[in-house]
Structure 1
Amino acid sequence: MESRPDRHSEALAAWLLQQLPDSAAVLPLRPLPGDAGQRRYYELAAERRYLAVYSPPHSEPNRTFVAVTQLLAANQLPVPKIYAVDFSRGFMLLQHLGAEPLRATYAERGSEALQRGLALLPALAAIDAAQLAWLPRYDEVRLQDEMALFADWFVSALLALPLSARERELLAALFGQLVESALAQPQGFVHRDFHCRNLMLASGGADAGIGLIDYQDALVGPLNYDLVSLLKDCYWQWPEATVDAAVADYYAAVIAVRQSAPTLAQFRQGFDWIGLQRHIKVLGIFARLALRDGKPQYLQALPLVIHYTLETARRYPALQPFAQWFEQRLMPSIQRQHWYPSAEERR
């Protein structure tokens, strides 16, 4: 039994009929799975080349999405064409890049599939700085605000653990280290959510073209941010050897050729540390999505994010105080959560 269309999809359908007056295939709209934001996506019944979007104008940066689309298209990156936009109502008619994410090919194709995502990163890094002047910076305030979600939503709200003044000082010291590292990295275009669910395969299966989506929060920041987002993906874990090789290849192709380039060892530490910043943020965001936004499915990704967090914190002596605190203070509570696998399940 089909659910009744919501008021936004009905208004969107009426708008689409104005944009496509010669098409009899606008209705019905078929809803597609959503993302972490408030956007809603719809396929047109018999016009698979189109994607209809309702993106609430009060909460979503729609003008930025259009501007970043134009920037990426001008640099020959695979982004959807924009056919029509109504900013006041948050309606968009886009090219449909495909409904299957790159993630769907990982199990069968392994690192061969991963390489398709990695192949886009040099082109993103090559966008000229003059073209990026209007984008916001991944500055200290933004980096700190993101990590603050960890204490507020993951520790306090999800785990129901109060933080003492000393614990907050420990976190402040860690966050300061991670910010300093992030700001010292080679800078450039940052997609900010470059992972296997935001790389879409065109119709035609695993050998089809690949396209970028969900880049409306793009910034200028550390070039290793998108690299770690893909290699330490919250939805898929790659073998350490695969990660090591990909980091070395990216360094040789993108970083080593720059003036005043860091060494590979320095770049690798920066890669790990910006990954820790991202995963600390993600722990807070996924907890908030579950508790505030009614999206409990994001809790299922937390065990892998916790793994990444501890893996990096244990690796570097400067991060040991945080690693020890996380293991002693948080892990007992984490291990009692319904979403965390038992010791037997982790074997």
Structure 2
Amino acid sequence: MSDREALRLDFLKAAGLDDAVRLALPGDASTRRYERLTPATGPTLMLMDQAPAAESPPCDPSWSPDQRRAAGWNAVARLSAGRIEAFAAVAAHLKALGLSAPDLPALDAANGLAVLEDFGDDLFARVIADGADETPLYLAAIEALATLHDAGDPPAVLNGPGGDWPMLTYDETALQGGADLFVDWLPKLDDRVSFDDDAVADWREAWAPIVASGARGASVMAHRDYHAENLIWLPERQGAARVGMIDFQDAVRAHPSWDLHSLLQDARRDVSPALEAQALDRYFALRPGVDRAAFMADYAGLAALNQARIIGIFARLIARDGKPRYARFLPRMWRHLNANLEQPALAPVARWFDRHVPAEVRA
């Protein structure tokens, strides 16, 4: 028996769940693992297991950009390193707003273990694939985002059952660091491209106005991974609470467009232009004080940046981590990116792509 398994068994025994049947669930792109727990009595539960030592350290709020870059990727991008206390603190904040995040009946933050309420298997993506009308689900997801955004600037520190957690900003260092994954990793996947120092300098210059605008507009909590495979349909609940949220431990203060384009320009499934337009109309109807034109300019720019970031992440997962299944998502991400690059404000970025990334790569 591994030391980690011994920790899990001790934790489950202390939680009164040592008799539960354990079923491991498929993994994702992270270092977390999940099990569904079926106790002798009572509802099923989830075991979240995130060993603190499995990741580089999260960002200290006091660190400079240089210190963050020296500490590793989690610090650059202001990621939580999967820490259980981050998940617990964000969950408490979401629940205080009337949104649906899992209860945590048992928690051992120091060892990276938690028992979660089980929201079931009705992921938006799965329910839609089984024939449900996607429109009500997406509009409910928009209602949940509007609720989160209407709450305004989140506290600087979130209080949760696992301890306090800083609500960091998705700032220039994090935004540009994310975009740079593209130039760092695409050449390692595709030998038709290479980027010398001048190309990388031009890349950063082209993105600079978008990065600055995204950091300047950071004013709400962003889930950071808000899409149809991280949202669970809970139709027995009311209003925005029908949207069960998971995988939100990397939440930050960010531009309110971030979760919108993550949802509506999804890496994993097609969302029609008509549904995207309907969902955006619903968002602005719920938030009538928002300047739609200015918002949508940022939406296109930050969506394009995010798509470049995700292409870089997928290239890394394939080339470094040996996970070829992520290749099937690349054509969709290129389609989203190419469409956003048609916006006039993105002309400098579009010119960079025309110079450095052949059209056949962007297909």
Q: CA deviation at 1:128?
A: 4.4
Using the alignment, how far apart are the partners of 2:322 and 2:168 within structure 1? 30
1:86 partner amino acid = D
Using the alignment, how far apart are the partners of 2:280 and 2:352 within structure 1? 29
C-alpha deviations, 1:246-278, integer Å up to 9, x for none? 223212322x32xxx43x222211111111111
Percentage identity across paired residues of the two chains: 26
TM-score (normalised: structure 2): 0.80
| Alignment-derived partner of residue 97 in structure 1 | 119
Match of 1:189 among 205, 213, 221: 221
Match of 2:340 among 302, 308, 312: 312
C-alpha deviations, 1:83-111, integer Å up to 9, x for none? 11122321111111112311112342132
**Unmatched runs of 5 consecutive residues or more in structure 2:** 56-81, 158-165
Match of 2:283 among 250, 274, 284: 250
| Alignment-derived partner of residue 140 in structure 1 | 172
Using the alignment, how far apart are the partners of 1:97 and 1:333 within structure 2? 42
Using the alignment, how far apart are the partners of 2:233 and 2:285 within structure 1? 27
Using the alignment, how far apart are the partners of 1:273 and 1:99 within structure 2? 34
Using the alignment, how far apart are the partners of 1:67 and 1:209 within structure 2? 21
Using the alignment, how far apart are the partners of 2:84 and 2:299 within structure 1? 30
Aligned pair count? 320
Q: CA deviation at 1:245?
A: 2.6
- Summarize the Cα distance change of 1:202–1:51 in structure 2 as closer, same or farther, 3 Å threshold: farther
C-alpha deviations, 1:195-251, integer Å up to 9, x for none? 1111023598xxx94310111111111011111111111112222222123223212
Moved more, 296-305 or 164-173: 164-173
- Summarize the Cα distance change of 1:294–1:91 in structure 2 as closer, same or farther, 3 Å threshold: farther
- Summarize the Cα distance change of 1:287–1:48 in structure 2 as closer, same or farther, 3 Å threshold: farther
Is 1:9–1:54's contact at 8 Å kept on the other side of the alignment?
no
Match of 2:350 among 319, 323, 328: 323
Is 1:247–1:268's contact at 8 Å kept on the other side of the alignment?
no
- Summarize the Cα distance change of 1:94–1:276 in structure 2 as closer, same or farther, 3 Å threshold: same
Is 1:105–1:113's contact at 8 Å kept on the other side of the alignment?
no
| Alignment-derived partner of residue 303 in structure 2 | 275
Q: CA deviation at 1:328?
A: 5.9
C-alpha deviations, 1:308-336, integer Å up to 9, x for none? 1111012x23423433543564345637x
TM-score (normalised: structure 1): 0.83
2:119 is the counterpart of 1:86: no
2:244 is the counterpart of 1:211: yes
Using the alignment, how far apart are the partners of 2:303 and 2:2 within structure 1? 39
Is 2:195–2:356's contact at 8 Å kept on the other side of the alignment?
no
C-alpha deviations, 1:41-91, integer Å up to 9, x for none? 001145653101111112222221111111111111100001111223211
- Summarize the Cα distance change of 1:130–1:266 in structure 2 as closer, same or farther, 3 Å threshold: closer
Using the alignment, how far apart are the partners of 2:154 and 2:255 within structure 1? 17
Is 1:158–1:287's contact at 8 Å kept on the other side of the alignment?
yes
Match of 1:115 among 114, 132, 139: 139
Using the alignment, how far apart are the partners of 2:261 and 2:359 within structure 1? 28
Is 1:202–1:209's contact at 8 Å kept on the other side of the alignment?
yes
**Unmatched runs of 5 consecutive residues or more in structure 1:** 341-347
